[in-house]
């Protein structure tokens, strides 16, 4: 593998297009996007992958229900995911569909490789099967009354010839990996759960089906289709050209980005990633991803999970339209409100409160007050000073910025989104308090112009630093802020430029007269 120092590979799940994308899907994709943008801000060569997981019985059934062939069904549905990612500014580098021919070619080769190695063998499956989860269960794992341990629905007794993957063979290696690298599975709650699960012993798993045909055919036994997880999990490497690259150049992407730096997944699919995917990679003699992070669920107050099978999902587009908010507001809300590894209760009240208080009041007001003052006190809107008059308050603010930046970086490096936003807000809140304390309008009326200029300059610098650090979270708003304060130079939008420049190197600001309100307050009376 190549020197990966300057590359970063982050993945979001490939979602089932068996229903419209919802806020839960958006949550994970936004998190992955924030990390991708953050790493790009730090100068990494980033690959962000997502896509759709289009095979399996559920999809075949949905297509039948709609009276179309599966191909037509998945074409329409996967487009809906792409459309939503466009609205939400998900800057993916590649969108993989498991029906893409290059992916199917690789899955066939991977299956054959594992078979030839003796890690896949043919046998006979007799047992309980959950159709909605597309998962087999042993009697002991199913509840007494034959209900699915994952979704609680009824399991069906099924008998069929099937191929099996020797998962049991890899239990010790997986446990050793966990022991050597406790940060491999995060957060700690997921790590402990996975460890316990493997310690209890692993059974071989069924990896082919004969009862439906919508999937990748097993190349040497066309009666079988590759059962969902080998097909789905392989996407992380097939997207890079593994077993499908037509040239050395095409394969260079694989050597450049694999192993992944982090797979973001919901905690319910952690087992497939932290156990099955790991075993497949070991069997293929490939390096393992550096981290698998299982995020929590969006729940409703009564504790039910937002999920398409429960029919209680919230559409991000509806939120944007009904509340007349920007995609940035949704991005901010999701990552600020719910600490990433925990479950979180979604409510419309918390949505409105977050936006009104953090975005409209704190951030929006800071920018709008500062730019209004400059436009009022400087007829041309230009803030171009020669010298700074730094007092104790200003020095304190300058050190707050540099501390907040370090904290932000440490927290984002460990995927603590909400906490890293708090670190940025410590600057925003302190800047607002500073305005109250130094009362620039009094400096103006007492003609203390040199001090006034310093105050306004420091405020602009704080706003610029905040806008830089917010690029990963609310990219469109950061750009709007830059243009409102007249910053067009790329050099003043970089991570390293997120610091207050002193007298040696003063930044020139020219405030734009046309001001757009960054985050209008949501007036609940006007929401249907």
Binding status of residue 94 toward ligand ME8 by CB under 6 A: no
Among 8-16, 104-112, 113-121, 160-168, the segment contacting ligand ME8 (CB under 6 A): 8-16
Q: Which of 4, 24, 243, 293 binds ligand ME8 (CB under 6 A)?
A: 24
Quick one: 407 or 418, whose CB is closer to ligand ME8? Answer: 418
Place of tokens 């040696």: 504
CA distance 267 to 441: 52
If we measure between CA atoms, which residue out of 20, 98, 95, 17 comes closest to residue 58? Answer: 17
Binding status of residue 508 toward ligand ME8 by CB under 6 A: no
What would the x/- binding string for ligand ME8 be over residues 34 to 73, using CB under 6 A? Answer: -------------------x--------------------
Among 85-93, 302-310, 328-336, 505-513, the segment contacting ligand ME8 (CB under 6 A): 302-310
Is residue 167 within 8 A of residue 204, CB to CB? The reply is yes
What would the x/- binding string for ligand ME8 be over residues 229 to 248, using CB under 6 A? Answer: ---xx-x-------------
Q: Which of 9, 16, 178, 254 binds ligand ME8 (CB under 6 A)?
A: 16
What's the closest the beta carbon of residue 243 comes to ligand ME8, in angstroms? 17
Quick one: 4 or 22, whose CB is closer to ligand ME8? Answer: 22
Quick one: 123 or 304, whose CB is closer to ligand ME8? Answer: 304
Q: Which of 47, 269, 335, 373 binds ligand ME8 (CB under 6 A)?
A: 269
What's the closest the beta carbon of residue 409 comes to ligand ME8, in angstroms? 25
Q: Which of 198, 262, 265, 291 binds ligand ME8 (CB under 6 A)?
A: 265
Instruction: Concatenate the DSSP letters of all residues of 313-351 into one string.
Output: ---HHHHHHHTT--HHHHHHHHHHHS-TTS-EE--HHHH
Helices and strands in the chain, H and E counts: 20, 16
Cα distances from 469 to residues 39, 158, 425, 493, in angstroms, run 12, 54, 11, 9
Quick one: 190 or 218, whose CB is closer to ligand ME8? Answer: 190
Place of tokens 């009362």: 439
* Ramachandran sector of residue 323 (left: φ over 0; alpha: ψ -120 to 50; beta: rest): alpha
Q: Which of 8, 85, 297, 473 binds ligand ME8 (CB under 6 A)?
A: 297
Binding status of residue 306 toward ligand ME8 by CB under 6 A: yes
Binding status of residue 341 toward ligand ME8 by CB under 6 A: no
Kindly state the tokens that stand for 350.
């918390």
Running DSSP on this structure, what letter comes out for residue 273? Answer: I
Q: Which of 8, 9, 15, 495 binds ligand ME8 (CB under 6 A)?
A: 15
Strand partners, 262: 10
H or E stretch at 412: helix 392-413
Q: Which of 4, 8, 10, 28 binds ligand ME8 (CB under 6 A)?
A: 28
Q: Which of 48, 207, 298, 385 binds ligand ME8 (CB under 6 A)?
A: 298
CA distance 502 to 454: 10
Q: Which of 14, 32, 171, 280 binds ligand ME8 (CB under 6 A)?
A: 14
Q: Which of 266, 339, 381, 520 binds ligand ME8 (CB under 6 A)?
A: 266
CA distance 404 to 469: 10
Binding status of residue 307 toward ligand ME8 by CB under 6 A: yes
Strand partners, 52: 15, 97
CA distance 377 to 451: 13
CA distance 477 to 495: 17
Contacts of 395 (CB under 8 A, 6+ apart): none
- Residue 217 phi, psi (nearest 5): -70, 140
What's the closest the beta carbon of residue 151 comes to ligand ME8, in angstroms? 11
What's the closest the beta carbon of residue 26 comes to ligand ME8, in angstroms? 9
Binding status of residue 25 toward ligand ME8 by CB under 6 A: yes
If we measure between CA atoms, which residue out of 275, 273, 291 comes closest to residue 167? Answer: 275
Per DSSP, the three-state class of 355 is helix
Binding status of residue 305 toward ligand ME8 by CB under 6 A: yes
Give contact residues for ligand ME8 (rule: CB under 6 A). Answer: 13-16, 24-25, 27-28, 53, 232-233, 235, 265-266, 268-269, 297-298, 305-307
């Amino acid at each position: 593998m190549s020197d990966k120092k300057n590359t970063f590979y982050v993945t979001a799940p490939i979602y089932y297009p068996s229903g419209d994308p919802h806020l839960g899907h958006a949550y994970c994709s936004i998190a992955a996007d924030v990390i991708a943008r953050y790493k790009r801000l730090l100068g990494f060569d980033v690959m962000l992958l997502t896509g759709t997981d289009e095979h399996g019985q559920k999809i075949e059934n949905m297509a039948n229900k709609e009276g179309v062939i599966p191909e037509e069904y998945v074409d329409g549905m996967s487009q809906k995911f792409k459309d939503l990612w466009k609205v939400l500014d998900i800057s993916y580098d590649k969108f993989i569909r498991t029906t893409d021919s290059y992916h199917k070619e690789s899955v066939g080769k991977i299956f054959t490789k594992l078979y030839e190695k003796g890690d896949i063998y043919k046998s006979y499956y007799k047992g309980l099967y959950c159709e909605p989860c597309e998962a087999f269960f042993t009697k002991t794992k199913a509840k007494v009354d034959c209900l699915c341990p994952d979704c609680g629905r009824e399991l069906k007794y099924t008998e069929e010839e099937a191929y099996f993957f020797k998962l049991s063979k890899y239990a010790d290696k997986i446990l050793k990996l966990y022991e050597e690298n406790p940060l491999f599975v995060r957060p700690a709650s997921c790590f402990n759960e996975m460890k316990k699960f493997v310690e209890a012993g692993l059974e071989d798993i069924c990896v082919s089906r004969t009862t439906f045909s919508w999937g990748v055919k097993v190349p040497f036994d066309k009666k079988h289709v590759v059962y969902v997880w080998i097909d789905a999990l392989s996407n992380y490497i097939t997207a890079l050209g593994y077993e499908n690259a037509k040239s050395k150049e095409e394969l260079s992407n694989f050597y450049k980005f694999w192993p992944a730096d982090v797979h973001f997944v919901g905690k319910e699919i952690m087992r497939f990633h932290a156990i099955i995917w790991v075993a497949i990679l070991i069997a293929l003699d490939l390096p393992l991803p550096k981290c698998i992070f299982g995020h929590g669920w969006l729940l409703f107050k009564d504790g039910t999970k937002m999920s398409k099978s429960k029919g209680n999902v919230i559409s991000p587009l509806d939120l944007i339209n009904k509340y007349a908010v920007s995609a940035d507001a949704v991005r901010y809300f999701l990552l600020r409100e719910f600490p990433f590894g925990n479950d979180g209760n979604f409510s419309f009240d918390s949505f409105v409160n977050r936006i009104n208080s953090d975005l409209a009041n704190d951030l929006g007001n800071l920018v709008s007050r500062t730019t209004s003052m400059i436009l009022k006190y400087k007829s041309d809107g230009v803030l171009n000073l020669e010298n700074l008059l730094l007092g104790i308050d200003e020095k304190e603010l300058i050190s707050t910025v540099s501390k907040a930046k370090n904290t932000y970086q440490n927290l984002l490096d460990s995927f603590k989104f909400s906490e890293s936003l708090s670190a940025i807000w410590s600057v925003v809140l302190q800047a607002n308090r500073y305005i109250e304390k130094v009362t620039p309008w009094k400096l103006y009326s007492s003609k203390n112009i040199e001090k006034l200029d310093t105050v306004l300059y420091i405020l602009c610098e704080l706003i610029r630093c905040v806008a830089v650090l917010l690029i990963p979270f609310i990219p469109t708003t950061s750009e709007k802020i830059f243009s409102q304060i007249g910053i067009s130079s790329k050099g003043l939008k970089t991570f390293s430029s997120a610091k207050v420049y002193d007298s040696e190197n003063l930044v020139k600001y020219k405030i734009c007269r046309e001001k757009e309100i960054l985050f209008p307050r949501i007036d609940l009376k006007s929401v249907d």
